[in-house]
Amino acid sequence: MTILGTSGLVLNEKLLFEHSKPGRKGYSLPKLDVPAAKLPAELCREEINGFPELSEVDVVRHFTRLSTWNYGVDSGFYPLGSCTMKYNPKVNEAAARLPGLANVHPATPPHLAQGILELMYRLQVALAEVSGFAKVTLQPAAGAQGELTGMLVIRAWHEARGSKRSKVLIPDTAHGTNPATATLAGYDVVPIASQGVLTLEEVEAHMDDDVAALMVTNPNTLGLFETNIEAICKLVHERGGMVYCDGANLNALMGIARPGDMGIDVMHFNLHKTFSTPHGGGGPGAGPVGVTEQLSPYLPAAGVERDGDRYRFEPEKTDSIGRLMTFHGNVGIMVRAFAYARTLGGSGLKHASQMAVLNANYVRARLEGVYDLPYKRRSLHEVIFSDKDLPGGCHTLDVAKRLIDYGYHPPTIYFPLVVKGAIMIEPTETESQDVLDEFCDAMIAIAGEARDNPDLLHQAPVRSRVRRLDETTAARKPKLRWEANP
């Protein structure tokens, strides 16, 4: 039987397991659980039924044509709030493709992989510095997996103290992954109805000795900084709980404030958001996790450590929660993130955050009075409007669809749930004032159309290849296979 390695290399099973024999020095290959059974004969096909026969040139033209129908951050403004769709410098791609970095097999012995190990080590250190945490693991492959890692670390910490707490507090502004994560980690979710910025009283009302942790997002998904965060962390700690921070919005804070300094215990990063890696369509991503010193023994096995001028994987730790990934995480994303951090440097990262905040406030100032602004105060990296008071029976979905006719990817809509008909705009630092002005002009024109000719919005999009789709059915019953005659 053959196994496809994460680098795409086909490994021979026997070879792999010979190399992973315990006792082999300097080699920390994870244990793979490969089923011994052979595949049933009826599943082994020579060819796929009904596939069309096409020439190479037909196939190349088909896919090249399809690729021009795609909309990405390289083709236009992409203000998808909460997703931080910033421009990804092409130098990151060049770095990630360097053969010495791209072609290292994850099972290469550390003494032959010093370059990539040094990069991973230095990225761990850089992320710890940006966030104010003592230690960082690079292993999780997404923000959501970072959340799970962090919550399992918190769980392990409680269990090591013989504590059997069962609840996790989560404000209702949180990303849907937060309650999903807490549930996966075995906790009951207690939602906190928040009025924008979380208050000490709101947390206090739910805090008891059965609460394992509070999960907050800072700045939160309303684009507002949690100004009471220090007092809230103090309160949770006094009652024996931990504070988890969803760090997806770090693009607003770099070089300005550090979650580790606010009293937060654990935070995940979304390298594919803050550290400029292409994303969308489900990945790949990377969700490193930073923790305080007291939680570091529970981090996943095995981080990279420095030994003089050499780098190696940490020896197994007895308290570790184990592994989240078979190997070491999405290393290509780490290379991109490292290239980005090194290109910008500390002052550049700070400038990026400042410009991201400035751009969001520019959009807020230009559209205030045109669209309803539920939170009338300065925002951080993103700003939330709503469809309240929009004339002509027009709603958020109509505005989003009409934006497609104007050549824009729509913003995030109907999230966060606490704002009815939310329109969540995150311009990011990489857009110029000209681009923001054109986008705001389009938004203002659409508000005018809603008043004068609302049917334009109800019919939209009219200039796209497909019109309004049945998105619910597409999500519930996706067609995942090629069909000869659909």
Ligand X SMILES: *Cc1c(COP(=O)(O)O)cnc(C)c1O
In this chain, which of 142, 211, 339, 460 binds ligand X, going by CB under 6 A?
142
Return contacts of 10-18, CB within 8 angstroms, 24+ apart. Answer: 11/107, 16/107
Q: How far is the CB of 167 from ligand X (least distance, A)?
A: 20
| 353 is a site residue for ligand X (CB under 6 A) | no
Q: How far is the CB of 147 from ligand X (least distance, A)?
A: 7
- Rounded Cα distance between 344 and 11, Å, is 38
For ligand X, the closer CB: 241 or 285: 285
For ligand X, the closer CB: 143 or 405: 143
| 106 is a site residue for ligand X (CB under 6 A) | no
Contact between 413 and 396 (Cβ < 8 Å) = yes
Q: How far is the CB of 327 from ligand X (least distance, A)?
A: 19
Q: How far is the CB of 114 from ligand X (least distance, A)?
A: 29
Q: Which two tokens stand for residue 307?
A: 């030994």
For ligand X, the closer CB: 408 or 415: 415
Q: How far is the CB of 108 from ligand X (least distance, A)?
A: 27
For ligand X, the closer CB: 150 or 450: 150
| 360 is a site residue for ligand X (CB under 6 A) | no
Q: Is 210 exposed, middle or buried (0-12, 13-18, 19+ CB in 10 A)?
A: middle
- Give the pairing type, strands 135-137 and 242-246: unpaired
Calculate the CA dihedral of residues 193, 195, 200, 206 and round it to 10 degrees. -10
| 285 is a site residue for ligand X (CB under 6 A) | yes
Q: Which two tokens stand for residue 228?
A: 């009471």
| 287 is a site residue for ligand X (CB under 6 A) | yes
Look at the block and give the residue holding tokens 């959009």.
Answer: 363
Partners of 4 in the beta sheet?
A: 10
In this chain, which of 217, 274, 386, 396 binds ligand X, going by CB under 6 A?
217
Choose the binding region for ligand X from 47-55, 58-66, 139-147, 379-387 (rule: CB under 6 A).
139-147
What is the C-alpha R_g of the chain?
Answer: 24
For ligand X, the closer CB: 246 or 387: 246
What is the pattern of x (binds ligand X, CB under 6 A) and - over residues 158-197?
A: -----------------x-x--------------------
| 278 is a site residue for ligand X (CB under 6 A) | no
| 246 is a site residue for ligand X (CB under 6 A) | yes
Q: How far is the CB of 82 from ligand X (least distance, A)?
A: 4
For ligand X, the closer CB: 284 or 348: 284
For ligand X, the closer CB: 217 or 396: 217
Q: How far is the CB of 80 from ligand X (least distance, A)?
A: 10
For ligand X, the closer CB: 352 or 394: 352
In this chain, which of 80, 198, 216, 248 binds ligand X, going by CB under 6 A?
248
| 422 is a site residue for ligand X (CB under 6 A) | no
For ligand X, the closer CB: 274 or 313: 274
How long, in residues, is the chain? 486
| 82 is a site residue for ligand X (CB under 6 A) | yes
Residue nearest to ligand X (CB): 143
* CA distances to 153, 398, 466, 483 from 401, in Å: 42, 5, 11, 29
In this chain, which of 79, 143, 263, 416 binds ligand X, going by CB under 6 A?
143
Contact residues for ligand X, defined by CB under 6 A: 82, 142-144, 175, 177, 217, 221, 246, 248, 270, 285, 287
